[in-house]
A and B are shown apart, each in its own frame.
Chain A
Amino acid sequence: MSMTSPIIETNESYLKKVEKVHKQNRIKSLLKGLLFLLPSIILFGVFVFYPLFRTIYLSFFLTDAKGATTVFVGWEHYVNMFTDPIFLKSIKNTFLFVIYTVPVTVIISLFLAVIANEKLKGIGFFRTIFSSTMGVSVAAASVFWLYLFNPTMGLLNEFLQMFELDPIGWLTDPKWALISVAVTTIWMNVGFTFLILLGGLQSIDSSLYESADIEGSSYFYKLRRITIPLLSPTLFFVITVSIINSFQTFGQIDILTQGGPANETNLIVYSIYREAFVNYQFGSASAQAVVLFIIILIMTAIQFKVGERRVHYQ
Chain B
Amino acid sequence: MKKLSFMLTLIAVLLLAACGGGSSDSSSGSGGQTEDGKQIVTFWHSMGGAGQDALNSIVEDFNASQDKIEVVAEYQGTYDESLTKFNAVAGTDSAPTMIQTFEIGTMSMINSGNIKPIQDLIDEDGYDMSGLEENIVNYYSLDGKFYSMPFNSSTPVMYYNKDAFAAAGLDHENPPATFEEIEEVSKKIGEANDGMKGFALQAYGWLWEQLLANQGALLLNNDNGRTGTPTEIGWTEEEGKSILNWVKRMVDDGTFANYGTNGDNMIAGFLAGDVAMFLQSSASARDVIDSADFEVGIAFLPHPGDKERQGVVIGGASLWMIDGKPEEETKAAWEFMKYLQTPEVQGKWHVGTGYFAINPEAYETDIVKEAWEEMPQLKVTVEQLQSTKSSYATQGALMDMLPEGRKIMETALETIYNGGDVDEAYETAVKQFNEAIETANRARGE
* Residue in A70, A151, A258 whose beta carbon sits within 8 Å of that of B269 in the complex: A151
* Residue in A48, A65, A67, A70 whose beta carbon sits within 8 Å of that of B400 in the complex: A65
B262 touches A171 (CB 8 A): yes
Max chain A C-beta neighbours (<10 A), residue from B112, B269, B414, B420: B414
Closest Cβ of chain A to B203, distance in Å, is 7
Q: Which residues of B contact A66 (CB under 8 A)?
A: 87, 90, 112
Q: Mark A35-70, 1 if CB is under 8 A from B, else 0.
A: 000000000000110000000000000111111001
B418 touches A71 (CB 8 A): no
B265: CB under 8 A from chain A?
A: yes
Q: Which residues of B contact A86 (CB under 8 A)?
A: 432
| B window 396-422: CB within 8 A of A | 400-401, 403-404, 407, 410-411, 414-415, 417-418, 420
Q: Closest A residue to B415 by CB, please name it.
A: A262
Q: Mark A240-261, 1 if CB is under 8 A from B, else 0.
A: 0100000010000000011011
Q: Which residues of A contact B84 (CB under 8 A)?
A: 277
CA distance A241 to B111 in the complex (A): 43
* Residue in B80, B260, B442 whose beta carbon sits within 8 Å of that of A257 in the complex: B260
A206: CB under 8 A from chain B?
A: no
Q: Which residues of B contact A234 (CB under 8 A)?
A: 4, 8
A200: CB under 8 A from chain B?
A: yes
Choose the segment among A24-32, A182-190, A278-286, A294-302 that binds chain B (4+ C-beta atoms closer than 8 Å). A278-286
A258 touches B268 (CB 8 A): no
Q: Which residues of A contact B71 (CB under 8 A)?
A: none
| A window 65-114: CB within 8 A of B | 65-67, 70-71, 85-86
* Residue in B1, B411, B442 whose beta carbon sits within 8 Å of that of A62 in the complex: B442
A281 touches B439 (CB 8 A): yes
A174: CB under 8 A from chain B?
A: yes
Q: Which residues of A contact B272 (CB under 8 A)?
A: 152-153
B403 touches A237 (CB 8 A): no
B268 touches A153 (CB 8 A): yes
B8 touches A237 (CB 8 A): yes
B8 touches A279 (CB 8 A): no
Closest Cβ of chain A to B24, distance in Å, is 14
A173: CB under 8 A from chain B?
A: yes
Closest Cβ of chain B to A246, distance in Å, is 13
Q: Which residues of B contact A127 (CB under 8 A)?
A: none
CA distance A237 to B11 in the complex (A): 11
Q: Mark B245-274, 1 if CB is under 8 A from A, else 0.
A: 000000000000011111001001100101
| B window 44-94: CB within 8 A of A | 80, 84, 87, 90
Chain B interface size, under 10 / 10 to 19 / 20 to 34 / 35 or more: 35 or more
Q: Which residues of B contact A227 (CB under 8 A)?
A: none
B338: CB under 8 A from chain A?
A: no
A174 touches B418 (CB 8 A): yes
A196: CB under 8 A from chain B?
A: yes
Q: Closest A residue to B7 by CB, please name it.
A: A199
Q: Closest A residue to B107 by CB, please name it.
A: A65
Q: Which residues of A contact B445 (CB under 8 A)?
A: 62, 64, 70-71
B442 touches A172 (CB 8 A): no
Q: A71-B445, A262-B420, A278-B403 are in contact. Are A203 and B414 (CB under 8 A)?
A: no
Q: Mark B85-117, 1 if CB is under 8 A from A, else 0.
A: 001001000000000000000001001100000
A65 touches B265 (CB 8 A): no
Q: Which residues of B contact A314 (CB under 8 A)?
A: 1
B80 touches A47 (CB 8 A): no
* Residue in A62, A237, A278 whose beta carbon sits within 8 Å of that of B80 in the complex: A278
Closest Cβ of chain B to A36, distance in Å, is 16
A169: CB under 8 A from chain B?
A: yes
* Residue in A64, A171, A174, A203 whose beta carbon sits within 8 Å of that of B443 in the complex: A64
Closest Cβ of chain A to B182, distance in Å, is 21
Q: A171-B260, A199-B7, A241-B15 are in contact. Are A279 and B442 (CB under 8 A)?
A: no
Q: A64-B443, A262-B411, A277-B84 are in contact. List 18 more A-B contacts (CB 8 A).
A: A47-B20, A48-B20, A62-B445, A63-B443, A64-B112, A65-B111, A66-B112, A70-B443, A150-B265, A150-B268, A171-B262, A172-B259, A172-B260, A233-B5, A260-B203, A278-B407, A279-B401, A280-B108
A-B contact pairs, 14 of them (CB 8 A): A63-B443, A65-B111, A66-B87, A70-B445, A151-B259, A151-B265, A172-B417, A196-B11, A260-B260, A262-B414, A262-B418, A279-B401, A280-B108, A281-B404
A-to-B contact residues, CB < 8 Å:
47-48, 62-67, 70-71, 85-86, 150-153, 169, 171-174, 196, 199-200, 203, 233-234, 237, 241, 248, 257-258, 260-263, 274, 277-281, 283, 313-314
